[in-house]
Chain A
Amino acid sequence: MADNELKIDREKCVGCQACLKACPFAALRMEGRLAVVGESCSFCGACVPVCKFGAITLVKAEAKLSLDLDLYHGVWVFGEQIEGVVQGVVYELIGKGRELADKRGVPLSVLLLGHGLDAAAKDLLEYPVDLVLQVEAPELSDYAPEPYARVVADLVQTRKPEIFLAGATAIGRSFLARVAVAVQTGLTADCTSLDITEEGLLLQTRPAFGGNIMASILCRGRRPQMSTVRHKVMPVAHRSPGRGGVIEVIKPSSTLLASRTRRLEWLPEITSTVNLVEADIIVSGGRGLGKPESFGMLEKLAKLLGGAVGSSRAAVDAGWMPYSHQVGQTGKTVQPKLYIACGISGAVQHLVGMQSSDRIIAINKDHDAPIFGVASYGIVGDVFEVVPAMIRELGGEA
């Protein structure tokens, strides 16, 4: 079987260097007037469409892994729960999963893992779901990567869904990667868009390079096609009771439940406002706030708006806010409906964590601050005047 190859046609290459600029891996270089492929080529194909002269072709080796795809049927959604509460992203996945299942003419199932989940399972049937697979074992009551992965891999191997979606949460991302390795299939992380082709191929689109490029990923030869999906990107499913969906309770074999990690303690984060990734509105502060106490006014504003408080890296590094509030490259990636940046200059490391927000309001003294480049509404002004004025305008006490 041939290896992957990126071919540059010596006759067609005119030495324009367009491909060099397009390569995210710096894998192309010039030798004389010809572009040449170097060792760091990862065969991503980014250079192929930019060549105006059609000089570049990508020959991809066929994957060895292939199987009878027709045996796989149905769409599954992972019903992530924490302490019995089904997480918000699950309802978004049900919406998307329903759409994909209808396009394929197959059932939609929600896979629920835990202990004592009768009420949660029943409630899920109020949504457009055909089957709830309720896997019950005391060992599954708290998240544990090994039993979670074994139980899910076992069900996937015996029941063979064609598509399996989970939230791109700490839990979803960390145990589904084990499942994907176990069942030898592909897993695409943190998708922001999903579509399906007529042949049933899931087109999984996700940001890469800190959101600077988008990539559409396919899993051609293996099943299920698995994705984790970013929270707050897809619309939530509405309740549609009376659909006649059913619950199947499954007791997993005890051999699947052994774990070499043991939870000693659970320390829930106590915040006065809502959780950052769950929030539709985030009020974020940066270096411009000058001191930790200034975050008090952001909390007031966030509370009035029903939002959460975020922070730039600078404010976290200064010790003004805990790390769990950090938005940006080394913190959280958020995509709320509204992001209000107060005293944040907008370093690229911050922008990659919030630039996909639906609307952005930026308040900054410096009219040249890069944050204004991504802001839907920009206000050049003093945060210590504007934010209290906004609080008063919303009927609060500044």
Chain B
Amino acid sequence: MHIVVCIKQVPDTTNVRINPKTNTLEREGVESIINPFDTYAIEEGVRIRERLGEGKVTVLSMGPPQAEAALREAISLGADEAVLLCSRAFAGGDTWSTSLVLALAIKKLGPDLVLAGKQAIDGDTAQVGPGISYHLDWPQACYVSKIREIGKGQAVVESLLENGKEVLAVELPAVLTVVKEINEPRLPSLKGKMRAKKAVITTWNETDIGADPELVGLKGSPTTVARVFSPSRRGAGEMIKAESASEVARLVVAKIKELKIV
């Protein structure tokens, strides 16, 4: 079974802060990481290969040349091969054009299964997985928390909705996006790290995947960013202090009752 795992290199958003004085983004010390949700997708791909005792895991990413680091890290985590989709023409793409680029590359790779994290932590859209699936005309299951069975032509998965879980039979090939609950990713092995160092990363541009340059990147994107700004921040509020826990509780319950929502 050939499994393609789509990953994205993202800034570690937990360190992206707004400087309240200058109202600008502060990136000091912000590293690039593999989108955390994608690490579960990589792990799941590797586990499926191990379970079946055959197959190949290819990691795929669209991004600048630096994204190669994320692909190498994925190899150290057990992926076999890596493809980077890299071109100026791809830059500035929204979820529509990004999912097209990834879908065209997947078509070329011809896998039986595509895995991805449920969303990326920078854009937080959760739209690229389903978008790829539509471009490929494949079925999809999102928010997958468990792959119960996988075999020739079919997978049985558990997929999370807000108020419960669906158990779904999904025809393959399909796109599955996964949540954190699905597994506990392993750490890179020493052997994996060595392989990652030596691995040859294939790089494809729009010509390699046969993309219409008018449909990728910002040009192929129906949406544009009109403005970026800082959210209004709450300042630290009031500290409630009292002699005893019961007195604190009385004060805080009074505050809650003031809100008139209980």
Contact = CB atoms under 8 A, between A and B. Distances in A.
Interface of A: 1, 3-4, 18, 20-27, 38-46, 50, 60-65, 82, 142-143, 145-146, 149, 169-171, 173-175, 177-178, 180-182, 184-190, 203, 207-222, 259-269, 275, 277-278, 280-281, 305-306, 323-324, 326, 329-331, 337-338, 347-349, 352, 355-356, 359-361, 372-382, 385-386, 388-390, 392-394
B238 A378 contact: yes
Given A21-B27, A178-B130, A377-B238, A386 B125 contact: no
B52 interface: no
Contacts of A50: 22, 24
Interface in B240-254: 240-241, 245-246, 248-250, 252-253
B95 A323 contact: no
A83 B192 CA distance: 47
A189 B121 CA distance: 13
Contacts of A211: 231
Interface stretch (B9-17, B53-61, B104-112): B9-17
B126 A173 contact: yes
B135 interface: yes
17 contacts: A18-B22, A26-B30, A41-B91, A169-B162, A170-B160, A180-B96, A180-B127, A187-B96, A209-B121, A210-B14, A215-B228, A217-B224, A269-B164, A305-B256, A323-B179, A329-B14, A377-B238
A55 B66 CA distance: 26
B236 A373 contact: yes
Mostly, the B contact residues are: mixed
A218 to B, nearest CB: 5
A181 B135 contact: yes
Contacts of A207: 124, 231
Contacts of B169: 261-262, 264
B76 interface: no
B32 interface: yes
A61 B36 CA distance: 32
Interface size class of B (residues with CB under 8 A): 35 or more
A388 to B, nearest CB: 8
A24 B27 contact: yes
Nearest to A26: B27
A181 B24 contact: no
A64 to B, nearest CB: 4
Contacts of B231: 207, 211-214, 356
Interface in B120-144: 121-131, 133-135, 138-143
Given A209-B122, A218-B223, A178 B262 contact: no
Contacts of A260: 138-139, 170-171, 174
A376 B238 contact: yes
A376 B174 CA distance: 46
Given A145-B133, A377-B239, 20 more contacts: A4-B219, A21-B26, A26-B30, A39-B65, A42-B91, A44-B92, A64-B215, A82-B163, A170-B161, A177-B129, A182-B134, A188-B223, A189-B123, A189-B126, A210-B14, A215-B225, A217-B226, A219-B224, A268-B164, A360-B234
